[in-house]
Chains A and B, each alone.
Chain A
Amino acid sequence: MENYNLFFAALFQLAQLLLVVLAAPLLTGWVNQCQAWLQNRSGAGVLQPYRVLRKLFHKDAVIAHNASWLFRVTPYIVFGCMWLAAAIIPIIAVDLPFSQAADVIALVGVFALARMFIALAAMDIGTSFGSLGARREMLVSFLAEPALLMVLFTASMISHSTQLPRIVEALAHHQFVLYPSLAFAALAFVIVLLAENARIPVDNPSTHLELTMIHEAMILEYSARHLALIEWASSLKLFAYMSIGIALFLPQGIAEMGHWAGLPLAIVILLLKLMLAGAGLALLETVTAKMRIFRAPEFLGTAFLLAVLGLLIHFLLGA
């Protein structure tokens, strides 16, 4: 029975690996489509990201004369990291054998690894936009990363574990209806999600306006398959962050340990949650305006303080 379960779990891990990589662009497409509806446009349809990826893969890659090996391997590293990150977060079922090898701190580490490489690659060509993007990305992340860590710590404290499956199991069987500490953490997490995924009000994914861009400035020199991998990785990153949000703050409906029969229902619930979260993100982006770059640290500082406050509240109230 034990081996049987382990086999299923491994199979399921592979299935989730496949699922996230295929479904991630769909989520991006859905967010964009919702945004189009909110702005009274008809939109390009939820499948547009796939078409873009296909187009990019078929193009000839053009890179600068002085691009080094670091520039060429970065898209693969970033894609690999994001893929792995999205695959280890329990969103359908908690039996994910790989999560033993990488807990929440390692998850934050994976994001950091990808960020480091993309920032370095941005500086590799030596254009003014590249280093501008790298500097701003690191500026945003030096506050967003600890905030994310504190959010995850709050959840770890409640569940007495830093392993995602354990956290989800503990949170799904609430002792309280609402953890006050998690409410603060959720607020902080939303801000981190916006910042880390290059969303309004910190960044704007759909602009190439020089003064405002962060993420786009870093990947200006990429083209064709390299760009496709980075775009895909961005979709995966959004998917991963949404998954973290679902796992921490809406864990109801995720299949429990060994309950394989609950899978179909869990998948339907997940789809509903993702659609809701995507629509929420689109709404949030539509009603807010992009802020000046030096307002961003204040915004993220708020997230950091909220997250620490959440942790403190957990210490004080034990909830």
Chain B
Amino acid sequence: MNAVNVSPLELLDGVILIWILLGLTGLALQRSSRFITGIIFPLGALASLALAVTAFLSLGAPPETQVLLLGLPDLPFHLRLDALSAFFLVLLGAASFGVSIYAGGYFRSMEGQTLALLCLQYHLFLVGMTLVLLADDAYMFMVAWETMALASYFLVTTDHAIPDIRKAGYLYLLIAHVGAIAILLSFGVMQGGNGIGAYTFDAMRGAELAPFWSSAAFLLALFGFGAKAGVLPMHMWLPEAHPAAPSPVSALMSGVMLKTAIYGILRVTFDLLGTQQWWWGVLALALGLITAVFGVMFAAVQGDMKRLLAYSSIENIGLLLVGIGLTIIFHVYGKDALAALALTATLYHSLNHAMFKSLLFIGTGSILHATGARNMGRMGGLIRRMPWAAALMLVGVLAISGLPPLNGFVSEWLLLQAFLLSPGLPNNYINMLVPVAAAVIALAAALAAYVMVKFYGVIFLGQPREPELEHAHDAGAWERAGMGWLALACVALGLAPVFVVQQIDFVSLSLLGSGLGNATNNWVFLAPVDTERASYSPLYFLLAVLGVMLLTTLLVRRFYHGRLRRSAPWDCGFPAQTARMQDTAEGFGQPIRRIFEPFFLIERDVPSPFDTHPRYHGQSDDRLWFILYQPIKRITEKMSSWAGLLQHGRIHLYLTYTFVTLIVLLVFV
């Protein structure tokens, strides 16, 4: 055993190396696309699994650090594996395991250079995300962050022949970099002017910052990471870039990459900045609430299935930010158990979202391959053509709607418990904010169910809306396996909450110095504070529901005949029923559009009553694009045109500029 004494961090280095090698092999062997999809992606998936297992085993271990002999002279890369990193690495590994298996099946339709490049970028993307989670200095972090951003940019623009996709990629790149600048500035503030050696996170932990500067660092970090996560108003790239990317990439971006931003906020707020202030929490809470409601409202009116999921991701990021906000508030006021509860809810929801959102995104990939359409209005009845995809995605849909006994419910339950236990904060205004916030969370959760009924119902149920849907084929074996893994994760995370909470406790202990502790003793009942106050047992719940259902079925079978006859649908006796009389995606979202009308910019084409071939067209846009983004774009253009006045392309003019600058400097210095 001692002969091969490899530490967890070294194992993770190994995984990173394997991914890089796999990517390069794929690039070298671009002629054999079968090899890339059949061997490289499954091997990458195994590496993901190894990463998840290693990280999982080191959750409770003391932090481990490593100095890499890479980077610039005197500026080596630092890596560190602690509980927070390990938790997010488990998330990354578990989600990307399913997605990579799926990708092995999904990318079979591609070949040649496109596939080879995709293989390289895909694995570099994974490497980038892993290094972001492991980085222990600002330099390594920014390099990893940029690797991640660039790899994902190239992945988003895989189909770069389409102008819309190029545009989406550009917007993504732009917002990612505005965010990156803010993060860099935040690191700069945290360094506290301590010179060049202070770029490590260790130095930042030790730096004493004045309240003003620590607030500045927090705000910059919130802005920078928020841009990556899709927090309002920097969410604009998300519904553009996610649909543009190939589905496994969308799954990784939505399921995992957004979580690296959540990781960043947690790392900066609770680890690098020693003390927090209460208003940071209020700010995060308010931003989170707005983001959550905004996201789910817009998800309800989407017609494109991947845009719908992208907006739903915005909603979930909002919920996570609410959890972070609550954690900050409780932590500042010294309510340690509550802070741990809120943090547990946040981390649990991160994990859940990674699983069900990845599942749903790769599911849309199978649908896209089967039908060739992203618009839900061209689907319908796929449950009969794609039974496997339909069954597995039903798990994801139920989970994301927050229904017991699946995983989405557990994190929602924990978050609501954190709200319920909150009274008694010394600040009255926050006390009043809490019930309102809980109400908004409940509203967002209920709207999420609306969105998911629409998503699943319009795609999978009803009659096929287009004749060519008759030839739709189910997901292949690899695709099923990948989706099956993620669906299994959703069920397992839902049924074993106590075990998961025990693991998350390591993170709470290391970040906040307090955990839920004894609340995790009973393995059946999840009881964050004590069983008198609240408890939930998904296992008993499932057993009871199944038991009651089984009993009902048996009784009905026992006492009554089981005769069944098939016939045409009844539909109140209306015989001329066609597939076009079902709700389209727009139709299903219409009530929401009508209720929240002021929030949308609605563009509608209503046909005249005399039109023999009427076509209805409606589109709901985001007002923020016109209120915020367009003016910024105009201002930037104007400023660059002013700067352009200096440029004439004549060398003597530039020499004059240099001369004048020199003179001015000499005068002043």
- B-contacting residues of A (Cβ < 8 Å)? 17, 57-58, 60-68, 70, 76-77, 79-81, 83-84, 98, 100-103, 105-106, 109-110, 112-113, 115-116, 119-120, 123-132, 134-136, 138-139, 141-143, 145-146, 149-150, 153, 156-157, 160-163, 166, 208, 210, 220-221, 223, 225, 229, 294, 297, 304, 307-308, 311-312, 314-316
Contacts and interface: CB of A to CB of B under 8 A. Distances in A.
Given A128-B581, A131-B457, A225-B560, A162 B417 contact: yes
Given A103-B536, A120-B453, A120-B457, A80 B567 contact: no
A143 B446 contact: yes
B423 A80 contact: no
Q: What is the interface residue range for chain B against chain A?
A: 35 or more
B453 A138 contact: yes
B556 A225 contact: yes
A236 to B, nearest CB: 11
B541 A102 contact: yes
A162 B534 contact: yes
A53 to B, nearest CB: 11
Given A84-B545, A308-B435, A311-B435, A146 B446 contact: yes
B669 interface: no
A138 B559 CA distance: 34
Contact of B531 (A100, A128, A136, A160): A100
A63 B566 contact: yes
B533 A57 contact: no
Contact of A84 (B398, B462, B548, B572): B548
14 contacts: A65-B569, A98-B540, A109-B403, A112-B449, A126-B463, A131-B462, A131-B587, A135-B588, A139-B450, A142-B449, A146-B446, A153-B416, A307-B439, A315-B423
Contacts of B445: 145-146
Contacts of A79: 548-549, 552
Given A70-B383, A128-B571, A316-B432, A76 B552 contact: yes
B449 A221 contact: no
B442 interface: yes
Contacts, number: 264
B461 interface: yes
A63 to B, nearest CB: 6
Nearest to A107: B404
A156 B533 CA distance: 9
B648 interface: no
Interface string B448-473: 01101110111001110000000000
Contacts of B572: 129, 208, 210, 220
B153 to A, nearest CB: 36
B568 A132 contact: no
Given A79-B548, A115-B449, A120-B461, 19 more contacts: A63-B567, A64-B570, A65-B569, A67-B566, A101-B541, A102-B536, A106-B409, A106-B413, A124-B383, A126-B582, A128-B577, A134-B583, A138-B453, A142-B450, A225-B556, A311-B435, A311-B439, A312-B435, A315-B432
B566 A123 contact: no
Interface string B530-565: 011111110011001110110011001001110111
Given A116-B398, A315-B423, A221 B450 contact: no
B662 interface: no
